Amino acid sequence: MTDATALLQGETWLKLDINAIDPRRALAPLHFFSDHPKLTDLLLRHGARPDIRCKGCLPLDSAIGHLSVAAKFGLHDDGASAG
């Protein structure tokens, strides 16, 4: 089990609201990590709501934005340049 999984399952002394909006970034965790497929999957499996809008956008909008930037600069999933 990873630390993130333990945290999301309430197995640590820390308490986490998986849908809380970070006041500094004005983003929910699903928006913030939308460019990390494994974290996105983990968040969704533990109750992250994909219908929360932050800055007028859904998490899917954030993911599409990340993909657009990666495609523009020729980046792979690991951030390495294609060329």
For 46-67, how does the pLDDT look when each residue is reduced to its tens digit (9 = 90+)?
A: 899 999 998 889 888 888 887 7
75 beta partners: 81
Domain that holds residue 47: 3-73
Provide the CATH number for the domain around residue 26. 1.25.40.20
User: What does the pLDDT read at residue 65?
Assistant: 82
* Torsion region of 18: left, alpha or beta (phi above 0 gives left; psi -120 to 50 gives alpha): alpha
Most confident of the following: 45-49, 65-69, 78-82: 45-49
Tokens of 70: 């990666």
Cβ-contact 32, 43 below 8 angstroms: no
Q: Is residue 17 part of a domain?
A: yes
User: What does the pLDDT read at residue 63?
Assistant: 83
pTM of the model: 0.67
Q: Residue 15, SS3?
A: coil
| Higher-confidence position of 3 and 49 | 49
The structural domain count of the chain equals 1
Q: Give, as one character, the DSSP assignment of residue 53.
A: -
